Chain A
Amino acid sequence: MSKLELKIDGQTLWVDPGTIILDAALKAGVSIPTLCYIPNKAIEHPCGICVVEVEGKEELVQACSTLVEDGMVVASRSDRVIKARQQVLEQMLSRHYGDCIAPCSLTCPAGINIQGYLSRIARGEFIEALKLIKEKNPLPLSVGRVCPHFCETLCRRILVDECLSINHLKRFVADFAMDHKDTHVSPPPPSSGYKVAVIGGGPAGLSAAYYLALMGHEVTIFEAMPELGGMLRYGIPEFRLPKKVLNKEIEDILRAGVRPQTGKRLGVDFTIKSLKESGFEAVFLGIGAWQNQKLDVEGEELDGVLSGPEFLKSMGMGQMPSTGRRVAVIGGVDTAVDTARTCVRMGVDEVVVIYQRSMMEMPASHREVIEAEKEGVKFIFMTGLTKIKKEKDSLKLETVRMKLSTPDKKGKRWPIPDPGSEDTREADTVIVATGQFPDLSWMELQDEAVKPHVLSDGTIITGAQTFQTSEKGVFAGGDAVRGPKTVIRAINGGRKAAEAIQTYLSKKPLHRYKRQLNFTKGKKFEDLDLHNFENVPMRLGEKMPVRAPERRIRDFDEIELGFTEETALRESKRCLECGCAALSKCKLRKLSTEYEVRFRISSMLKRRKYEINSCHPFIVIDPNKCIFCQRCKNSCEYDALELTGTNFDNDGLPEQISLIINEKCVSCGACVDNCPAGGLSKKSITLPVDANEIKKVKTVCPFCGCGCVIELNIKGNSIVEVNADPEDAPNFGNLCVKGRFGTSFVSHPQRLKKPLIRKRGYFWEASWEDAISLIAQKFLEIRNNDPDGLAGLSSARCTNEENYLLQKFMRAVIGTNNVDHCARL
């Protein structure tokens, strides 16, 4: 038979007659997407995404069913084709109901895989949980204590009873790791040869330095203060974040291979220009926002009027400023609350916080406000300060009640004085904590030639995704860019900047990322269909144990005591696992992102149509996510999958779907691995991860003698799932229930983890040295008497090399042929 000539996207190739365009394209290295195709199966309702343009044909043709004809000219990525594919995807998406990623992860400023680490905690794999956290946040001990818990605000569990205490769980694993001296510090990788300078040793700088070091760069942190930590050390008081804990966290970052240079101030000890001249290829500016905003109130400059950040900084340096008996704190930011609570602990009799708006608008964490109130801090809301006067030994504050203005053009209402409500109060010290901005005095220096552009509010301008400033090779992140925000945002800025620096150093363009499509059942609680939670039993969350207010105000010791292992296990098991277990295999999401489908979340289904069926021991059926590609049915070799669609519409998609696994099922799992969306997912997947985070390792199934090649999908030190490659002999992609679902025993909690020696009838944990020495001694005693007094059993579960070694051991070391295994059993 002569070959047929085919031209595809400009490439010419020759294929056998009877070849479909899809296979021919693959040969040419052109990948045509398909969601429904399975070799040698007739597809009743093709998905239609594999369409291509054939010269001379008016209509687009389906590559999975059209045979190559001699002289055919095919375009697989023309505008027309792309448009058609986008349309197919849009139609599928409009019938797809689910969450790609859990709302907690989406809300987290650092995008930590929260559902993933909660699942690891629930399995008792605390270090694995920590590893997931440290992928995005290298300061879990600190953040676990000071984060305002953005993630918890959209926790769906609120619709059942109350949200999960996610941040407390994060702190638990970080503490657990610290207590067990297993904080998962990876040794520094081989050097890339690049030198990067990080200016500022706060959360942004530490984060950038940590990730840059993990990439193999030689990183030096320049810090103006005597110690690293930035606002964590000099802005957050001891009772919220003990220095001992912070020091441990910083030590772990330095152990990743970061060099600290403390007491080196930008503009005093060096300039960016001098750094560049001394060989730093890239610079990260994480200088924070250390300048206190002025009040613009008469008397602000008087003695006895302090700045909040300065006050906390002195405390952080171990000094205790004198304040007198009465302190008034002005402002509504976290620093104001921290300052007030510090004063309480210093023995100040009367501490008030004066804020010009209501509690609802207060930027400080409301939990902290409530705790401060318990400690005796008085909050005076809707009150403005108009003047400070010196009166004998004390200060007199003139205040006025505030009210809200009529809305301005943008609809915002501002606090304005309510005439006639003027009042006065006395204080010994006034501490102003109304907000901060970056200290950019170093830019004024003549020596500094590198001056990034700055916004009018004093923050540095960077590209939204490139993190590069107006100066080439100078990147910035954290409070210096965004103004004073939370620790976790600064950490995220540092990490993303590190990634951008990596791209920059590898001389690749700092590109724009394609927007990842994230489906959600509802961004707001009111959008959510409550049917989703019908069968969830109520179970209130675990409470963080705290020291009683009357005790804790007497010292600076930590207030929150942390979860125990038991409470952490209980709490983590409350997670509803909102994110899709099929995330890593989802071709629908991948293609929708690749084809940049502009799909409005508002046009997706509003509520689920079908019950989710979890009766199968390994497979969850969620017809709400089914796109009717029929691959499940077509891949089943046992006639066990019943998929029917009724009332087909103009797009060729059914209005109603019925998807049932019948009693013929042998749980081989071919259907679930063939499903390109989340219609079928594996019950065992509790760690939703993106495909690019998975490491694939080909090995051999440990069960029967068939020797199927299996592919372990690994994340961290866990097997996420097992599947098989259709290319590999002897199983060519087929697996049985044990191969696909039976390997979870490797991480079973009952695995033996330590050598055990029996003493007086009981097993005791022992070191390898002790165990091996004991065996050697006993075996030698028996051998020296009669080598045939010993026998060895090898195993069909062990490798060839191990079987070989055991028989060699028995024959050469012991001197007996008493060696056998279980071949007969």
Chain B
Amino acid sequence: MTNPIADFKKADVILITGSNPTENHPVIALQMIKAVQENKTKLIVVDPREIEIAQYAEIRLRPKPGTDVAWLNGMMYVIIDEDLYDISYVADRTENFMAFKETVMRYNPEFVEQVTGIPAKDLISAARLYAKAGRGSIAYCMGITQHAFGTDNVKSIANLAMLCGNVGIKGGGVNPLRGQNNVQGACDMGALPNVLPGYQSISDQETVRKFEKVWGKKLPAKPGLAVTDMWPAILEKKIKGMYILGENPVVSDPNLKEVEAALKKLDFLVVQDIFMTETAKLANVVLPAASFAEKEGTFTNTERRVQRVRQGLDPLGDSRPDWKIICNLSEKMGMPMNYDTPEEIMEEIACLVPIYGGIHYERLNKNSLQWPCPNWEHPGTPYLHKDSFTRGKGLFQSVESILSDELPNEEYPFLLSTGRVLYHYNSGTMTRKVEGLNLIFPEVITEIHPLDAKNKGIADGSMVKITSRRGEITTRACLTKKSPEGIVFIPFHFGEAAANILTSDTLDPIARIPAFKVCAVSVEPV
């Protein structure tokens, strides 16, 4: 997020798209709803599904899945056409406006209506509302990114925010709501195949030398493989061993059958987790890890806030914190890592990662800090790009709408979207061990529009078979108008009927993110 969570209350308008905050970020949703109720903030919700927060929206648009660039360009068409954009901001702080404008001006509302199904007049009102309000915030999530062209979607959102001068101001911003507790931190720490900690390039020689000096080892130059590219590499016998920490790809990754086949093909698999997950069951060695409540450390949340994780309990049984296990293994492999506490690790991070340069436990024990925080004196950065963009000027990028190659046809007439529900989390490893949560949401369901259900002869609560080009699962049907006609939704928390058996491993060419939100399926009563 470019802005802090507390900023939603300061916004005059919030545009929510591809995010279902009441289910996925309930506490953020609450702040958004309060903003509407108490501060008269206006809400625009753009989502194919009739999500709960839409009831608080001034305007809500329901585009066809996978047509985000089209409606975003359409909104910007209206804003430019009606001269509602922030001319001085565009002039002073951005570049490449003219080329961008040329692209956008091909998306008039009538054309966009054909592509997206959003009535032209609704698109125009939404554009006016967002552009005319003083401070406009955009919140998005996996509904924007989990597409074959997710990177384009994000660029387009950035274009819209810059166009109205909403980046670098209080109450504005481009705000991706990150899904997992420390997904931000995992990225920050360089658990990525193409960058070192702090998003430092693996090809920058000076950076590499800095790390080599502290680590005392030569670093590999060749970029690694993203998780979604690892599975084919295993099947091609390029990868022979894997070390998996706290991940359950056998439930969470697309096209599960391939993932499972790949894991089974490995010569040696080590899984380190708190439970015997579906993935751990395939391992050669399973190591018991300590839970979040049993260790010290830090998490970084969606607003880049680095916070202290504190130990409340002794590790259960013989389990150990992950950091200790890695140290044990490293030592055994001939490279001792001499850390006695996570604090010592953070000190090393502070010295190697400029955006974490001022992050020290001594400070965190008093207050959390938002990065970039380059040194001891720096108070942290609630707003990114405040006076200038990280790269200097904000770059408008021309983005064209591309249609998904997973469109419904006669054989697979429905579009499937996957996601989470309030009562569970990811592959269910943790939440499905909680009695009350299982009481509320005991099993996987397929949300389907009542009219579709009627046509197919499906009753509420009856079993249905969902089939895609990759596999099939059977679930209970839940008739609801939340899903528009032609679209079904399945939460992916349930290993026994994993939605990801169906999903496609089509990836975004840059971010290597799978297109979870668009997958053609058939739905039949059982």
Contacts and interface: CB of A to CB of B under 8 A. Distances in A.
B437 A742 contact: yes
A359 interface: no
Interface of A: 617-618, 637, 666-668, 683-684, 695, 697-709, 712, 714, 717-719, 729-731, 734-739, 741-748, 750-758, 763, 766, 768, 771-776, 778-780, 782, 787-813, 815-825
5 contacts: A700-B301, A736-B422, A752-B273, A752-B289, A797-B246
Contact of B241 (A741, A742, A768, A779): A779
Interface stretch (B66-74, B448-456, B509-517): B509-517
B275 interface: yes
Given A707-B302, A737-B26, A803-B186, 13 more contacts: A702-B292, A703-B181, A705-B184, A729-B6, A730-B4, A735-B27, A752-B274, A768-B318, A790-B240, A790-B241, A800-B189, A802-B245, A822-B186
Given A709-B307, A738-B437, A806 B27 contact: no
B391 interface: no
A791 B299 contact: no
Interface in B471-526: 511-514, 516
B220 A730 contact: no
A102 B275 CA distance: 35
Nearest to A670: B30
- State the 9 A-B residue pairs at the shortest beta-carbon distance, nearest first: A707-B301, A753-B317, A799-B297, A817-B224, A795-B246, A705-B178, A736-B26, A752-B288, A794-B191
A755 B437 contact: no
Given A794-B186, A805-B327, A824-B511, A817 B220 contact: yes
Contact of A705 (B179, B193, B241): B179
Given A792-B242, A804-B197, A809-B329, A799 B298 contact: yes
Nearest to B230: A791
Contacts of B302: 705-707
B436 A802 contact: no
Interface of B: 4-6, 22, 24-28, 30-31, 33-34, 145-146, 177-194, 196-197, 202, 211, 215-220, 222-228, 230, 233, 238-247, 249, 252-253, 267-268, 270, 273-276, 280, 283-289, 291-295, 297-303, 305-314, 316-323, 325-330, 332-335, 337, 339, 342, 345-346, 348-349, 368, 422-423, 425-426, 430-431, 433-437, 439-440, 511-514, 516
Most chain B beta-carbon neighbours within 10 Å: one of A709, A774, A789? A789
Contacts of B31: 734
A778 B268 contact: yes
Contact of A668 (B26, B179, B192): B26
Contacts of A821: 183, 186-187, 191-192, 227, 247
A818 B189 contact: no
Contacts of B319: 751-753
B313 A714 contact: yes
Nearest to B280: A752
Contact of A617 (B194, B196, B215, B439): B439
Contacts of B228: 824
A29 to B, nearest CB: 21
A168 B269 CA distance: 46
A117 B241 CA distance: 46
A808 B294 CA distance: 23
A745 B227 CA distance: 27
A755 B334 CA distance: 21
Contacts of A714: 312-313
A795 B247 contact: yes
Contacts of A779: 241, 243, 268, 329, 333
B329 A776 contact: yes
B286 A756 contact: yes
Contacts of B202: 817
Contacts of B25: 704-706
A436 to B, nearest CB: 44
B430 A752 contact: no
A718 B314 CA distance: 9
Contact of B431 (A637, A745, A822): A745
Nearest to A665: B440
Given A706-B25, A729-B6, A813 B239 contact: no
Contacts of B233: 791
Contacts of B249: 793, 822, 825
Contact of A818 (B239, B299, B317): B239
B285 A818 contact: no
A796 B288 contact: no
B185 A800 contact: yes
Most chain A beta-carbon neighbours within 10 Å: one of B24, B30, B317? B30
A785 B522 CA distance: 46
Nearest to A751: B316
Contacts of B227: 793, 820-822, 824-825
Most chain B beta-carbon neighbours within 10 Å: one of A683, A718, A731? A731
B241 A797 contact: no
B326 A753 contact: no
A806 to B, nearest CB: 6
Given A747-B316, A825-B514, A618 B430 contact: no
A707 to B, nearest CB: 3
Nearest to B365: A698
A695 B311 CA distance: 11
A683 B294 contact: no
Given A617-B436, A717-B314, A744-B433, A701 B181 contact: yes
Given A637-B34, A705-B302, A731-B27, A697 B270 contact: no
Given A737-B26, A790-B239, A820-B224, A637 B219 contact: no
Most chain B beta-carbon neighbours within 10 Å: one of A744, A754, A821? A821
A793 B302 CA distance: 21
Contacts of A699: 292-293, 308-310, 312
B252 A822 contact: yes
Contacts of B267: 778, 782
A799 B31 CA distance: 26
B330 to A, nearest CB: 5
A738 B431 contact: yes
A143 B283 CA distance: 47
A809 to B, nearest CB: 5
A766 B320 CA distance: 14
Contacts of A780: 333
Contacts of A825: 227, 249, 252-253, 426, 514, 516
Given A746-B313, A776-B332, A789-B240, A758 B321 contact: no
B186 A796 contact: yes
Nearest to A711: B312
Contacts of A702: 181, 291-292, 430
A741 B332 contact: no
A816 B437 contact: no
A746 B291 contact: yes
Most chain B beta-carbon neighbours within 10 Å: one of A780, A799, A806? A799
Contacts of A683: 436
